C-alpha cells in the first residue's frame, strides 16, 4: 500500500517554485505577487490566510494581506476589488471565504478579474477549465491531479467515483478526471446526497474521491481490494484527550480502508497541504502568463 504523501509532495512543489522565483529575481525581474483579502475575524480563515502568506514568503513571492473590518460594506469590498484588478504590480489575489452574511459572495467572485483569479472560482475560469482551455484550476482539485500524476496513479480507463458535487472540489475534480490528458481519461461517476445505493457504486470504483465532509463515512465494506482513495474531507471532531480539544478527521475510516487500498491519502497530510502549494503554482502561472 502506498501512502500518497501530500505533505512531502507539497514541500517538493514549494522547493521547485522557490528555485524558479530565485532564477526570476536573479535575472533582475520582480517577484510574483499574491494578495489576500480577509474580511472579519473568523478563526479558521485567519489560520488559512496566515499560512498562505507564510508560504508566499517561503518561496520568495511578494505578498500583501488586506484585512477589512467585519462590518465592511459590499460596496467598499467591491471598490477594494476594483483597485486590485487595476494594480499592475499584482499577479493574483484571493478573497478568503466565507464572507460575512451581509455580503453577496457571488457578486464579489464575479467582480474579480479572471486573469488574477488564482482561486479559479470565477465562472470564466470554470468554463475555460471545462473546455480544456488555459485556466486557473481551483487549488484543491488541481492538487489532487498533481498528486495522482506525481505518484503515477493510472487513471485512464479507470472507474472513478467522486462523492460530493461542490463547486470548489467535487464537480471540478469530476470534470478534470474525465478530460483527455495526464491524470485524466477516467470514466467518472459523480455521487451526492441524492445518490441511491452509493456502496454499490463505490464497490466498483478503481479510484474514489471523497469530498463530502462527514467524518469516516467511507468504510471497508464500501470498497474493493486495490482501490485508490483520495480523502478531501477535513472535519474537526471533539476529543477531550487531545491538547487542542479536537482531532481532524477525513471522510474515510482510514485504518480499516487502508488495509484494502493500493494507495491512499492520509488526513491530515494528504490533500490539505497540496491546496496551498497549488495556489502558489497558480500565482506563478499568472505571473508567467502576464509575460
Ligand atoms: P460541501 O459541503 O459544499 O458539499 C458536500 C457534498 O457532499 C454535497 O455535494 C453533498 O450533496 C454531498 N453529500 C452530503 N452528504 C452526503 C451523503 N450522505 N452521501 C453522498 N453525498 C453526500 O463540501 P466541500 O466540497 O466544500 O467540502 C467537502 C469536505 O472537504 C469538507 O470536509 C471540507 O472541509 C473539505 N475541504 C478540504 C479542502 C482541502 O484543502 N483539503 C478544501 C475544500 C474542502 P448535495 O449536493 O446533494 O447536498
Residue 251 CA, closest ligand 1 atom number = 32
> Tell me: the pLDDT tens digits for 206-215?
999 999 999 9
Predicted local confidence at residue 44, as pLDDT? 86
Write the pLDDT tens digit of every residue in 276-289. Answer: 999 999 999 999 99
| From 5, 91, 96, 249, the catalytic residue | 96
User: What residue's CA is closest to ligand 1, atom 17?
Assistant: 193
165 has a pLDDT exceeding 90 = yes
The rounded mean pLDDT for the chain is 97
For the segment 23-71, what is each residue's pLDDT rounded down to a tens digit? 999 999 999 999 999 999 998 899 999 999 999 999 999 999 999 999 9
* pLDDT at residue 81 tops 90: yes
Residue 18 scores a pLDDT above 80: yes
pLDDT given at position 186? 98
pLDDT in tens, 172-190: 999 999 999 999 999 999 9
Q: Is the pLDDT of residue 291 over 80?
A: no
Q: Is the dihedral of CA 101, 102, 103, 104 positive or negative?
A: positive
Q: Whose CA is nearest to atom 42 of ligand 1?
A: 140
pLDDT reported for residue 150: 98
Residue ranges of domains in the chain, CATH in brackets: 29-113 (3.40.50.10860), 139-272 (3.40.50.720)
Map grid coordinates 467585519 to a residue. Answer: 70
104 is catalytic: no
Residue 87 has pLDDT above 80, yes or no: yes
Report whether pLDDT(169) > 90: yes
Q: Which atom of ligand 1 is nearest to the CA of 194?
A: 47
Q: Is the CB of 270 under 6 A from ligand 1?
A: no
250 Cα nearest atom in ligand 1? 32
Distance (angstroms) between ligand 1 centre and the Cα of 141 equals 13
CB 147 within 8 A of CB 139: no
Would you call the peptide bond into 98 cis, given omega within 30 degrees of 0 as the criterion?
A: yes
> Residue of the nearest CA to atom 41 in ligand 1?
272
Confidence of residue 235 (pLDDT cuts 50, 70, 90): very high
To the query of whether residue 119 is one of the catalytic residues in this protein, the response is yes
Q: In testing the pocket of ligand 1, which one of 169, 189, 195, 236 has its CB within 8 Å of the most ligand atoms?
A: 169
Tell me the best of 44, 144, 213 to mutate to test the pocket of ligand 1, counting ligand atoms within 8 Å of each CB and taking the most: 213
- Span 151-167, average pLDDT: 98
Spell out the SS3 assignment of the chain: CEECCHHHHHHHHHHHHHHHHHHHHHCCCCCCEEEEEEECCCHHHHHHHHHHHHHHHHHCCEEEEEEECCCCCHHHHHHHHHHHHHCCCCCEEEECCCCCCCCCHHHHHHHCCHHHECCCCCHHHHHHHHCCCCCCCCHHHHHHHHHHHHCCCCCCCCEEEEECCCCCCHHHHHHHHHCCCCCCCCEEEEECCCCCCHHHHHCCCCEEEECCCCCCCECHHHCCCCCEEEECCCEEEECCCCCCCEEEECCECHHHHHHHCCEECCCCCCHHHHHHHHHHHHHHHHHHHHC
* 211 alpha carbon – ligand 1 mean position (Å): 5
Q: What is the pLDDT of residue 290?
A: 86
Tell me if residue 88 is catalytic.
no
- Cα–Cα distance between 277 and 274 in angstroms, integer? 5
234 lines ligand 1 (CB under 6 A): yes
Amino acid at each position: 500500500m502506498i501512502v500518497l504523501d501530500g505533505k512531502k509532495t507539497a514541500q517538493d512543489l514549494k522547493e521547485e517554485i522557490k528555485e524558479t522565483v530565485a532564477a526570476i529575481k536573479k535575472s533582475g525581474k520582480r517577484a510574483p505577487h499574491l494578495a489576500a483579502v480577509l474580511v472579519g475575524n473568523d478563526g479558521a480563515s485567519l489560520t488559512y490566510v496566515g499560512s498562505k502568506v507564510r508560504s508566499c514568503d517561503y518561496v520568495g513571492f511578494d505578498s500583501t494581506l488586506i484585512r477589512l473590518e467585519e462590518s465592511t460594506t459590499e460596496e467598499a469590498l467591491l471598490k477594494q476589488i476594483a483597485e486590485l484588478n487595476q494594480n499592475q504590480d499584482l499577479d493574483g489575489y484571493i478573497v478568503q471565504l466565507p464572507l460575512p452574511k451581509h455580503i453577496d459572495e457571488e457578486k464579489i467572485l464575479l467582480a474579480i478579474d479572471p486573469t488574477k483569479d488564482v482561486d479559479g472560482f470565477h465562472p470564466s475560469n470554470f468554463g475555460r477549465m471545462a473546455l480544456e482551455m488555459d485556466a486557473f484550476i481551483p487549488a484543491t482539485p488541481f492538487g489532487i491531479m498533481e498528486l495522482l500524476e506525481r505518484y503515477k496513479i493510472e487513471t485512464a480507463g479507470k472507474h472513478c467515483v467522486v462523492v460530493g458535487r461542490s463547486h470548489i472540489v467535487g464537480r471540478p475534480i469530476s470534470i478534470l478526471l474525465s478530460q483527455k490528458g495526464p491524470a485524466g481519461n477516467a470514466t467518472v461517476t459523480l455521487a451526492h446526497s441524492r445518490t441511491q445505493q452509493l456502496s454499490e457504486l463505490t464497490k466498483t470504483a478503481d479510484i474514489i474521491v471523497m469530498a463530502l465532509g462527514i467524518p469516516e463515512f467511507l468504510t471497508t465494506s464500501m470498497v474493493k481490494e486495490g482501490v485508490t482513495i483520495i480523502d478531501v474531507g477535513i472535519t474537526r471532531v471533539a476529543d477531550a484527550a487531545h491538547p487542542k480539544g479536537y482531532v481532524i478527521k477525513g471522510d474515510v475510516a482510514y485504518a480499516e480502508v487502508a488495509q484494502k487500498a493500493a494507495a491512499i491519502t492520509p488526513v491530515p497530510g494528504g490533500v490539505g497541504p497540496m491546496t496551498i502549494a497549488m495556489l502558489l503554482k497558480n500565482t506563478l502561472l499568472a505571473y508567467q502568463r502576464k509575460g
